[in-house]
Structure formats: C-alpha cells, structure tokens
Amino acid sequence: MEMLEKIRREISILDCLDHPHITRLYELIDTPTDIFVVMEYVAGKGGELFDHIIQKSRLSESEARRFFQQIVSAVEHCHQHLICHRDLKPENVLLDENLNVKVGDFGLSNFMR
C-alpha cells in the first residue's frame, strides 16, 4: 500500500473516533502538495505509558487498574466502530497532565470486515 493511502486510511479512522481516551483529530488541511493533520496535543508530565512505567519501576495495583480500564474503554470504542488498532503497546499509549490515557498512533489500524 502506498504511503499516501496509509495516511488517508489513518485519517479516516481517526475521523470516526470520538472518545476521551483516544487522541482526537481536529482538522485536516489537504493542499495539492501537502496534507496537514491537526491533532490533540497530549502534553504534561505524562508522556508515554512506557516511560511512566520505566520511571516508576512498577505501578501500584490501583494505578494499573485505572490505566487498564481506560485502555479497554478506548479499545471497546474502536471495536464498536469496527476499527482494529493492531499496534497497541505502552509506547502508543500517551498520558495527559492528569495521567489519563490517550491511545494514539493509528498508523497500522484498519477497518474490520
């Protein structure tokens, strides 16, 4: 699959999703030479879930449960829209300033048949 097709597929998938634990697509600007994607900025002390786990060495049961509940909620939303992420890993799970999960990087995702 051509790179442009992959980008357009990722954009169309993100356009279907509106959930508090999935990075949000705000706007798409398509020019004859470029595609600009305006997405939610997930910043703060959170970073990637992977880095958070490494930094803390281990998560408490309550913190792990909270993260897992939010990830499951995001995945359930994807599946309700017949979307499969296909690359869910701690590096693709971002944490906002309140340490809430934001599932991102839908580059390998696809619609289910």
Active site residues: 87
Concatenating the DSSP letter of every residue in the chain gives --HHHHHHHHHHHHHH---TTBPPEEEEEE-SS-EEEEE----SS-EEHHHHHHHHSS--HHHHHHHHHHHHHHHHHHHHTTEE-S--SGGGEEE-TT--EEE---TT-EE--
